[in-house]
Amino acid sequence: MEWAGLHDVDLVLDGSMGEGGGQILRTALGLSAVTSRSFRMERIRAARKKPGLQAQHLTAVLAAAQICQARVEGASLGSQRLAFWPGPIRGGQYEFDVGTAGSTVLVLQTVLPGLGLAKEASELILRGGTHNPLAPPFDFLVEVFLPILRRMGLRVEAELEAHGFYPAGGGQMRVRIQPTNQLQPVELLHRGRVLEHEIYAVLSRLPRHIAEREVETARKHLGWEKKCVRIVEVDSAGPGNYIGIRIQCEQVTELFTAFGQIKVPAEKVGLEAARQAEHWLQAEVPVGPHLADQLLIYLGLAGGGAFRTLAPSLHTQTNLEVVRCFLERVLRIEQQTEHQWLVVAESRR
């Protein structure tokens, strides 16, 4: 039987282009819901160790389909091709369960553009991983990303109800969305003075000395005072640990994290986070690499805005290409100095 998704779609995308990961699919799903443009994607995550749709990606597909009453073909575990025909977006009450330690933050990332522009408010419960080394953690969501969305007119509040670490999962967060009719452009060109900085480590079901070694390594590398350090012990379905370095400036807050792993010394984990923060501080840009990825969709939807960031990763460049496919916008990246790059969104005229 011929696959119906071979023909009647607005866009055809190669899921292996550029960085070739799940972000291509998540961005396509989110923008398809907003623009009502259908798409077919071939070779989804073709270069990955486990190609095709894994649990986290399948949850994102089904979640996107649910919020816009879409018709879908190819939505099954391991599938490397998908066709998606969106319908009208509908706000309301939703529950999405990844079923593994896969990132709930990335599932939210998929449905947020649509629900953020819906006619009704929404409340979501998402279950799975909340702190996953392959995705921005919940802390990044609330400290860095959502404050910028509020400046663009989209009110989103998120509450962590249970930590979920890899590989056990079992985390849960609740998200409330007050949509807007039109996103407002935002400019993040300067970060301003550093107002506050802190280093913290979170651990569950692991010896406290792990966190102590992580924060002390990071603190010494950055040359910060001891009073900026704290350790948080939580309970979760399985053991887990990460370090966060939060830097609050006049115009933006950034967060840099690294996750503890089996057979990786705590000192190495602390140093990894510290080097990320150091690189950002030295570049004197307001927007770090994860935030740059997140903002591309929203600048495109707003039809304007700009931000300065570090040299764009292949992940960011790939995401940019997907946004360009769906939106009639000019999104450009230009290098300004050795360490600073400017991203600009403009409406086509």
- Buried/exposed code over 34-72 (b: 16+ C-beta within 10 A; e: otherwise): bbebbbbbbbbbeeeeebbbbbbbbbbbebbbebbebeb
In three-state secondary structure terms, 125 is strand
pLDDT-above-90 percentage for the chain: 90
Which pLDDT does position 177 carry in this prediction?
A: 98
| Sheet strands side by side (includes 39-42) | 11-14, 39-42, 82-85, 71-73
Which residue, among 274, 12, 247, 28, has the nearest Cα to 140 in the 3D structure? 247
Instruction: Report, in this order, helix, strand and coil percent for the chain, each rounded to 5.
Output: 35, 30, 35
Distance CA 61, CA 290 (A): 22
Asked about 315 being catalytic, the answer comes back as yes
Tell me whether the omega of the peptide bond preceding residue 167 falls within 30 degrees of 0, making it cis.
yes
Over 70: is that where the pLDDT of 7 sits?
no
Tens-digit pLDDT profile for residues 72-126 = 999 999 999 999 999 999 999 999 999 999 999 999 999 999 999 999 999 999 9
- Per mean pLDDT, which range of 189-198, 244-253, 313-322 is the poorest? 313-322
CB atoms within 10 A of CB 225: 9
Q: Which position among 57, 131, 290, 315 bears the catalytic label?
A: 315
Tens-digit pLDDT profile for residues 186-219 = 999 999 999 999 999 999 999 999 999 999 999 9
Please name every residue paired with 14 in a beta bridge, in sequence order, or none if there are none.
Answer: 42
Higher-pLDDT residue of 314, 239: 239
Q: What is the pTM assigned to this prediction?
A: 0.94
- Buried/exposed code over 264-297 (b: 16+ C-beta within 10 A; e: otherwise): eebeebbbbbbebbbebbebebbbbbbbbbbbbb
Tens-digit pLDDT profile for residues 23-46 = 999 999 999 999 999 999 999 998
Distance CA 47, CA 23 (A): 14
Q: Say if residues 83 and 127 touch (Cβ distance below 8 Å).
A: no
